[in-house]
Amino acid sequence: MNKVWFNYKTRDLNTTFFSERLSNRSLALWLSASNAVWIARDNILNSGVFYLSLTYGKPILGPNSGNINEHLVNVNGVVFNSTESEHLKGSFDDLISVMNNWKAKNLEQYEPENIAIQFDQLLIDSCQT
């Protein structure tokens, strides 16, 4: 993601873009202070940002590609078409419109105990085939 492009596209919003790795402390402070989180990546989709956003109770905007799309739909996130830049602008508008009343849904399946059970079952199933 190009930082100049992002700053131009979001010039009317109070936004901050990070392309570098943040320390754990900085990340925690920024997530606490944020109103929402945008997952800008569309080619590397194994991001802990999704789960951290849920932990901090923040509405999430993310791409319609990979497994992130499925997770976003499942928790009431806002999805943008990662191949159409014009769709992204409308998605920001959607995110802004839901920020004040956003409530995640289906969070129980993302609790660590439930993820561990699913992973155990995956291992069991793979050993039986």
Q: Quick one: pLDDT at residue 45?
A: 55
Distance CA 72, CA 69 (A): 5
27 - beta bridge partners? Answer: none
Give the confidence band of 69 by pLDDT, cuts at 50, 70, 90. Answer: confident
Count of residues making up the chain: 129
70 token code pair: 């499925």
Count CB neighbours of 53 within 10 A: 24
pLDDT category, 81, cuts 50, 70, 90?
Answer: confident
Confidence of residue 27 (pLDDT cuts 50, 70, 90): confident
What letter would DSSP give residue 10? T
pLDDT value at residue 48: 80
This prediction has a pTM of: 0.69
Residue type at 47 in one-letter notation: S
At 103 the pLDDT is: 78
Please give the torsion angle defined by the CA atoms of residues 18, 4, 9 and 43, in that order, rounded to the nearest 10 degrees. Answer: -60
